[in-house]
Chains A and B, each alone.
Chain A
Amino acid sequence: MQVAIQGPWSPLLGRLTLSAIPYTNPILVGTFAVAALIALVVAGAVLYYKKLGYLWREWLTTVDHKKIGVMYIIVGLVMFFRAFVDGLMMRTQQAMAIGPHSPGVLGAQHGYLPPFHFDQVYSAHGTIMILFAATPLLTGLTNVVVPLQIGARDMAFPYMNALSLWLTTAGAILVMLSLFVGDFSSAGWVGLIPLTELPYSPGVGVDYWMWAIQISSIGTTLNAINMIVTIIKMRAPGMGWFRVPVFTWTTLSTNIIGLTAFPILGVVLALLGADRYLGTHFFTAGNGGNLMLYTNMFWIWGHPEVYFLVLPAFGIFSEIIPTFSEKPLFGYTTMVAATFAIAGISWAVWLHHFFTMGAGADVNGFFSIATMLVGIPTGVKVFNWMFTLYRGRLTFTTPMLWALAGLFLLLVGGITGMMLAIPAINYTVHNSVFVIAHFHCMVLLVAAAIFAGVVYWFPKVFGFQLDEKNGLMFFWSFITATAIVFTAMFALGFQGETRRLDYIFNPAWRPMLWTEEAGMMLYLVSIFYFLRMLYVSLRDRVPVASDPWGTARTLEFLTHSPVPFYNFAVTPQVNARDELAWRREHGLDKAQPEAFEPIHMPSNTGVPIIIGMLSLTLGFGLIWRIWWMAGFSLLAIIIAVIIRSFDKNLGYELKPEEVAAMERNLATASIIAEQPARTPLTEAEAH
């Protein structure tokens, strides 16, 4: 029951032909050359230093939550960079293609990107930033931090954790692959319907978009289950619900959103897939389809998804601001209540993304008020952070600066969000760059929180701090660039510029477009300082104490830096909400355990990465309609799961002497150190 598709198809290669490789496009050929070069250098270095075995044993097959978190963050940063370049390309195109007489180069009538390319670039930008940059970066941070913060050894399901990572990575690779093999979707990150249906998007672009998201969102859903169970079941003794750190609370609420919302995305994409592959009519305009059903379902996931991103960011602020104010968080209980209020309301506001549908004043009025209700708990949070600063002793480390800048971004994003929530206003700025500026304030707040979190927890994981001097330059250039670009964008919103334009039909927008472009140049400067920060820190590697900041308040800073792979030599007993601050007050923060107990650890396994890579080939086969490849991959995945379920590996045990030795020589326990092969426990030993 396969639908008719345009172009050639062969059983062996599906829709894939040589013309799918864009070897005539200089931009893509250049990108490919750079990507290939980097890949060669990395592969060469791994082989030269004989690290292939290490890489496989200690990283690619790991089930350690910290290493998985670090790999999530690396994937996220690479994708962040890719999507930034997309953003730069869009800004540059719009700065060039202004008015009917603007010249064109590289085959474009105006600017340098014809719509065929530009539309893919903007679609990739949004898809990547939300799903393959921000999401993995936050998942990575929660992966690293939450088990440490609640005094757990690992996540509840370490194997599933690795599986989540590799599914997300498979999705990210698919998106990258679309650069060099075929095209990406040009229907926006939201998959504008019915543009994504076969008559209007006959190529493989939408399929790339759809399957990349589908595969990675399975990973996100699994991770949500893992996080929820970990937080509910694995807290250290003494950590009652009212002693749970706020970052852990926000992670819990975010993953409840994730668990409930991502399946909706999975279903809506599957139905779209049925339309595209089987010829059904779920979302077509005709034949009984209902295209607004897609839009509704997409945003029933999409709006909670934006809160899925922002809640952990709020959690990061709630850790960092008290630490550098040397004071507990103001209004802990209301903060937790506000978190869950935001999460709860976020399910009931989705229609504000299409007030212009013509639903009538009653429907729009309901969703308008529901949307504005989110402003209440959001306001509460801002006030609570503000009162945390009050009578504090503030030090302006880079994490603190990022957090404070985030507060101001939240204020601007909040006021403009409240404006958009009023239908009468929305009818003038919907789909304009005003909306783009609104949500970039919000997602850049998330980015600020991510940078804050990475700098804040980096020494915990690696045992040395990121260079503050370059970090400051990175901060200031990034924030100034943000201010320039998005002030100009708000102005353009009021000038009536609509979003997603490849060609600027109104020359009056030129000054502000050029201002934006200047801001983009400053972002480039900030990237330079970011890389220099990494370089200088890696070169110098100044070792730090278990609490590198000296004023941290939560449990993760109790254990050593770099954190041993078993997290805590002895599971801590929790006495207070801000456990480390409490211990510091009572002179207990430096106390060392006297006796050790055996530690039960999970063994590494190659199954998750194998399943991940098989999902990659499954996705690739489906995108290009290479049925044998898809079928073989699916079968192999099922077989891998079955084989794994018969695996009797029960993990291994660290003997107390072994732990004691590693506690004396911490370098041997760090997550960078290569561990000796350890024999798994037998059934008898385990009981």
Chain B
Amino acid sequence: MRLKLSALKPLATLPALLALAGCDTGNYRLFHPLTAVAKVQWWATLFEAGIMSLIIVPTAILIAWFIWRYRKSANAKYDPAWSHSLVLEVLVWGVPLVIVAICSLISIRTTLDVEPYAPAVLAKNPADTAPLDIDVIATDWQWLFIYPQQHVAAIDELVVPENSVVHLRLTSTAVVNDFFIPQIAPMIDVMPGMRTEDTFDTPDPGSYTGFSADFSGAGFSWMQFHTHIVTPAGFGAWVAQAAASPVQLSYQEFTKLAQPTVNEGNKPSYFSNAASNLFDNVVTAAQAGVVYPVPDNVTKQVASLEDGGTAATTK
């Protein structure tokens, strides 16, 4: 049986619309999904909130009403012996059971739809072009994006062409981070010595902020990256610009970049000639025990005006 999500749409949107009537929701980024993947996520949020409201709201109202109705001073009907009713007890188990069953269906459907490795929602209308592969390496505390097909790389800047599908492979040099671009890409863990994947489609051109969502140490609060969705021509130009960078990204160069660094303002930098096996080398190195330690004095210096100021770790 396939659950018709669309049939439930009007019902689910109602409470959200009521709640939002009249306010500017521009800041509520999750309310404005842009990609097919993010749209499923937001619809799931609305369905779930709507369906749960069907039971939560009446319950809250009933409780409030009973509190009012049966206050001692009201002298309402008092039944000191009533503490059991078979019908009601069947209902109190039955109704939540039905609700949870519906929620389970929604859960399974949408989980498959947005599965970060291979979202079913994107398989429905496949794009004409092959997905753009990008390797993502989280360091302490920057993001490195490697474009294996284009042989370029960038720090703290993710640029992708509009209306295409992007497929990421992610790993980390040091600790665990979460990769997340609200409105665009689902969150996924980024773990040292391991690979994860994330997939999303791109909307019309625009600029967004992505960030690490899992605490990774002192520089975590500054661990954002710019996400630019550009036209195909713009993408070509950007690749050409990066390819012109004098800095070539070898593994040696990478080990320097991967030292603990806070990049305030997330100033991007670009690399040409990115080594094609860099991502795999980083994963293998982490598995072999390579770490990029964060000594206590580095932790103490981050965003601190004492202990020698911020300069030591800031680019």
Contact = CB atoms under 8 A, between A and B. Distances in A.
Interface string A154-190: 0000000000000000000000000000000011100
B307 to A, nearest CB: 8
Contacts of B130: none
A508 B187 CA distance: 21
Nearest to B171: A285
Contacts of A491: 28
Contact of B92 (A331, A357, A392, A423): A331
Nearest to A391: B79
Contact of A422 (B60, B110, B178, B213): B110
Interface in B35-70: 38, 40-42, 44-45, 48-49, 52-53, 55-56, 59-60, 62-63, 66-67, 70
A266 B40 CA distance: 41
> What's the interface size class on B, roughly?
35 or more
Given A193-B176, A203-B296, A389-B70, A380 B52 contact: no
Contacts of B216: 195
A286 B103 contact: no
A391 B83 contact: no
A298 to B, nearest CB: 13
B145 interface: no
A624 to B, nearest CB: 15
B281 interface: no
B305 A334 contact: no
A375 B78 contact: no
Interface stretch (B146-154, B190-198, B241-249, B250-258): B190-198
Nearest to A192: B215
B186 A418 contact: no
A337 to B, nearest CB: 9
Contact of B187 (A391, A414, A428): A428
A427 B289 contact: no
Contact of B104 (A327, A360, A369, A379): A369
A358 B78 contact: no
A200 B48 contact: no
Interface in A488-502: 491, 493-496, 498-502
Interface stretch (A45-53, A110-118, A529-537, A602-610): A110-118
B12 to A, nearest CB: 12
Contacts of B106: 422
Interface string A253-297: 000000000000000000000000000010011110001100000
Interface stretch (B111-119, B158-166, B228-236, B270-278): B111-119
Interface string A27-54: 0000000000000000000000000000
Interface in B63-99: 63, 66-67, 70-72, 76-85, 88-89, 91-93, 95-97, 99
A194 B290 CA distance: 13
Given A100-B264, A407-B63, A423-B111, A286 B178 contact: no
Contacts of A429: 30
Given A383-B88, A427-B186, 10 more contacts: A100-B265, A192-B214, A285-B191, A287-B288, A292-B191, A326-B80, A390-B70, A419-B45, A425-B110, A498-B180
Interface of A: 6-7, 100, 104, 107-110, 114-116, 119, 186-188, 192-195, 199-200, 202-203, 281, 284-287, 291-292, 325-332, 334, 354, 356-358, 360-361, 364-365, 368-369, 372-373, 375-376, 378-380, 382-384, 386-396, 404, 407-408, 411, 414-415, 418-419, 421-432, 491, 493-496, 498-506, 508-509
30 contacts: A6-B295, A108-B303, A115-B218, A116-B300, A119-B215, A188-B215, A195-B175, A195-B217, A199-B291, A284-B291, A285-B194, A287-B289, A291-B193, A292-B191, A327-B79, A329-B83, A365-B107, A372-B104, A376-B96, A391-B70, A396-B71, A411-B59, A422-B107, A425-B44, A426-B187, A428-B42, A494-B28, A505-B211, A505-B221, A505-B222
